[in-house]
A and B are shown apart, each in its own frame.
Chain A
């Protein structure tokens, strides 16, 4: 009975597969025009989404994604035991304000862009521990809210560096637990904070790549699996530069990911969409997984997916004070059962 579910140093193997019952995704115009546009449930062309501010719009996207996931699952709020959610804004207001309208016990999370897998990981642990039957997971980001908080006003005419990334406007909701028969969470590797001294806020991919590498390596060591176990290993938002760096470092550690490695930030936009290194933000890995990979798992296109969302844990205060960027990556394995 008390056999530990922990394998190795950072991985938890769930005692049974935990099905993902349904997902809901809402994205902005640019994401809708991207290569994955057809996989999202709703594309909102107005960045304000009919609201008075971008922050309210982001919150409304979270609420809409939750409604979509609820409709698809035919569940009522009373069937849910917890909501785990987060976003990039100060005091995670997009999630907190969305949770105001969701009568479900709520844990607000901040893991920067790793929030989606952080929440899925916690959902898995809570479900497998017997503390819940069903958990709602959300994550969101919004280009304009993130830009004005972390960088510059939207209308300022500045040139972006080639290493800069474009914050995804989008929200995803995912319901995990009893009653589903689809793809299921099978294990999670919880990341440690890694800081390799990168300070450039216009180069998050390079800052986050070592955290992704550390978590992926640990996942293989803990589980005894190799890269070939998965059909796809997808990092959250390393972008084109971070992806190359991560793949190179993993190859040096003896793991060849050349066949099945990708990055949600690279997938969500086309290179000609003026996004430089690719997409980023909590909404990036959340919408790409809940929209694209989840459908691929349902249809049988993919059998086993390892999602490794990556987060840069900086704040406007920390970088103005010259601090380097601590980063984290959490991995969840989702498999067809």
Chain B
């Protein structure tokens, strides 16, 4: 705003903002994320125990357990509850597989009005897409490293 070096003004303004900026409540957020994230995992464990009680091995039970948890995440997103949980729990509800379901179902709901092809179909992975792409790339890289070290 003054006639001096505009970059200096910008730097000074940046520091002014940093000093006034309210800080996120890190301790509270971390605790809530730990508790809610932990509870979601306990629920997952309970589902797994149920499938094991039907005679599956731990490895066999993993698939159906993930399916049930993805279903629950999607279901509660549809009811409009998962975003409320997310506000409260932060990373605690984003990181588990239920959060992954939420990241796919929420744009699907939003873009359904733009039609099933250009809306729902095209936008469904707008949030989860990068996770899938880089998750796959990372898996391939790790696989190659593993293969080389085993040679």
List the interface of chain A (C-beta within 8 A of B): 52-53, 148, 152-163, 194, 196-198, 203, 206, 210, 213-214, 241, 244-245, 248, 274, 277
Contact = CB atoms under 8 A, between A and B. Distances in A.
Nearest to A148: B110
11 contacts: A52-B113, A153-B109, A155-B77, A155-B82, A156-B83, A156-B107, A157-B87, A159-B87, A160-B87, A196-B13, A241-B17
A180 B131 CA distance: 59
B17 A206 contact: yes
Given A152-B127, A155-B83, A157-B94, A210 B106 contact: no
Contacts, number: 96
Which of B17, B24, B90 gathers the greatest number of chain A CB atoms within 10 Å? Answer: B17
B88 to A, nearest CB: 8
Given A197-B10, A197-B13, A197-B14, A157 B99 contact: yes
B27 interface: no
The majority secondary structure among interface residues of chain B is helix
A160 B91 CA distance: 12
Given A197-B10, A206-B17, A153 B106 contact: yes
Nearest to A213: B1
B65 interface: no
Which of B23, B82, B84, B107 gathers the greatest number of chain A CB atoms within 10 Å? Answer: B107
B102 A196 contact: no
Contacts of A213: 1
Contact of B1 (A214, A244, A248): A214
Nearest to A276: B22
A314 B72 CA distance: 37
Contacts of A248: 16, 20
Interface string B71-104: 0000001101011111101110110000100110
B1 A154 contact: no
B17 A154 contact: no
B59 interface: no
Contacts of A156: 83, 86, 102-103, 106-107, 127
A64 to B, nearest CB: 21
Contact of B110 (A153, A161, A210, A245): A153
A268 B15 CA distance: 29
B52 interface: no
Contacts of A157: 77, 82-87, 89, 93-94, 99, 102, 106
Q: Would you list the 3 A-B pairs with minimal beta carbon distance, nearest first?
A: A157-B86, A155-B106, A197-B10
Given A155-B110, A197-B13, A206-B21, 5 more contacts: A153-B106, A156-B103, A157-B93, A162-B21, A162-B22
Contact of B106 (A154, A197, A244): A154
B86 A245 contact: no
A1 to B, nearest CB: 37
Contacts of A158: 83, 86-87, 90, 94
Which of A154, A157, A161 gathers the greatest number of chain B CB atoms within 10 Å? Answer: A157
Contact of A210 (B1, B20, B29, B126): B1
Contact of B29 (A152, A159, A245): A159
A196 B127 contact: no
A65 B111 CA distance: 27
A213 B109 CA distance: 41
Contacts of B127: 152-153, 156
